[in-house]
Amino acid sequence: MKKYIEVYNYYKDLILTGQYKKGDKIPSVRQSTAILNVSKTTVQNAYFELQADGYIIAQPQSGYYVSGGAREMLNETEESPASRQILYDLRSGDADSESFNLALWQRYIKSALRQEERLLSYSIPKGEADLREALSTYIREKRNVIASPERIIVGAGVQPLLAILCALANDRRTVSFPTEGFKQGIHTFKTHGFEVHTRDKNAEIIYVSPSHMTAYGDVMPIKRRLELVHHSETTGALVIEDDFDSDFMYQNKPVPSLFALSGAGNVVYMGSFSNVLTPAIRISFMVLTEELTRRFNEIESCLAQTASKTEQIALCGYIRDGHISQQTRRIRRHYTAKTRAMYDAIRTAIPQAETTVSENGLVIKVEAAFSGCAEDFIAKGLSVYIYSIDNGILRAALTPSALETEQIPAAVKALKAVLEGDNT
């Protein structure tokens, strides 16, 4: 008998005999590895089978839980709410456990925590000076965004930065978003009294994310970039270029940033480190135009820095030592390989579906005949981005970045079951 089947049977018995009850947390993969003296892969495979067979469920951020006690498991006919939990997250864009070198980041945090004197005072509104210096070099080298540290503002995510922008650009009243998808951004502008439109060229502020235009991972072509820059120069519209996910693309053909293309300086450039590092680190930044920098300086005393000073100090060292670029290459390889593996598995298992990989290499677009509804996905533990279910055709986007590589076969199997209307 294979090792992982032994582990599988071990936990299955504990559950069926009621020693682990519904809702109980079972040991983590790491703990089991120690308890049972087997390899991590063995435990992962066993847990995967336990999940597939409905004994346990994975709760993101938390661990594995027994999805039903022995009694329920044998008798229940109705699906329990617990088993409706997300098993396969193909939507969140969270990171998987393989992607980030946490030990390295820990070193920088520890070193930051040793800078006692710096930790005794509040960070200045723009963010730590040395971090902004490092960012200035980094974005110049990477995206040809040339701006002095003076123009760079650090914040705990894009939302607080947009709130600052709303205050700085309060002579404008309308803003356009490409879709209604970026709810946090739309919310911020709305609550600051802006009129929010979708794809409205006449808006005074135009928000775009050219490296991740849609849930499909489309990239803005150079032609449209030039048009947008020209439009902004002619009309004076302020462009917000949210360059998130830019780290994951341009592997073959680097597309210039709007900021670099624009001569008139009407572009605010935004970037974030949640994708390259871990989502748990809340540091984003924006590069203001000259004019907006002047306004920022005027109201500086009204603005508090939101990002953790410790993490700012750590990130500064991390960037200076070249780890961001290294990490970017690593993750890009890792995520695109995973997306490719899932794509191949879908092509083999579900040949009737039309599938393509997005230009940024992170998202799989699926188009397939489908007579079910969105709930069918949830029932199988799949969280996917459904673009439309229309005239018997499903259009969906799958982002496997949060999925562990070992989960791919099971996720594809679940997807196949949903698409083929298998409700068992």
* Binding positions for a second copy, rule: CB under 8 A: 28, 60-63, 92, 94-97, 99-100, 102, 105-106, 109-110, 113, 116-123, 156-160, 163, 166-167, 170, 183-184, 186-187, 191-193, 274, 278-282, 299, 301-311, 402
CB of 196 vs a second copy, minimal distance in Å? 12
Query: 237 or 307, CB closer to a second copy?
Result: 307
* Residue in the block written with tokens 């469920």: 57
Burial class for 24, CB neighbours closer than 10 Å (0-12, 13-18, 19+):
middle
Q: Give least dist CB 333 to a second copy, A.
A: 18
CA-to-CA distance for 359 and 212, rounded, in angstroms?
A: 9
Please say which residue, 258 or 331, places its beta carbon nearer to a second copy. 331
Contacts of 12 (CB under 8 A, 6+ apart): 50, 53, 55
Residue-wise DSSP of 389-418: EETTEEEEEE-GGGS-GGGHHHHHHHHHHH
Q: Report the nearest approach of a second copy to the CB of residue 224 (Å).
A: 28
DSSP helix/strand/coil, 378: helix
Q: Provide the 8-state DSSP code for 351.
A: T
Q: Which is nearer to a second copy, 193 or 263 (CB)?
A: 193
Residue 284 beta carbon to a second copy: minimum distance, rounded to whole angstroms: 10
Shortest gap between Cβ of 388 and a second copy (angstroms)? 20
Q: Could you give the 3-state DSSP secondary structure of residue 322?
A: coil
- Rounded to an integer, what distance in angstroms lies between the CA atom of residue 186 and that of residue 240? 13
Q: What is the token pair recorded at 95?
A: 């990171």
d(C-alpha 269, C-alpha 28), whole Å:
41
Minimum gap (Å) between residue 373 Cβ and a second copy: 21
* 229 versus 307: smaller Cβ distance to a second copy: 307
The set of residues, in sequence order, having a beta carbon less than 8 Å from that of 383 and lying 6+ positions away, is 86, 88, 89, 90, 91, 92, 377
- Judging by DSSP bridges, how do beta strands 284-287 and 56-59 pair with one another? unpaired
Longest dimension (CA), the chain: 73
- Cβ of residue 182: shortest distance to a second copy, in angstroms? 10
CB of 33 to a second copy, least distance (A): 14
Pick the closer one to a second copy by CB: 99 or 358. Answer: 99
10 Å CB burial of residue 421 (0-12, 13-18, 19+) is: exposed
Nearer to a second copy, 334 or 347 (CB): 334
Looking at the Cβ atoms of 18 and 60, the one nearer to a second copy is 60
- Taking the least distance from each CB to a second copy, the nearer of 307 and 366 is 307
Residues recorded for the chain:
424
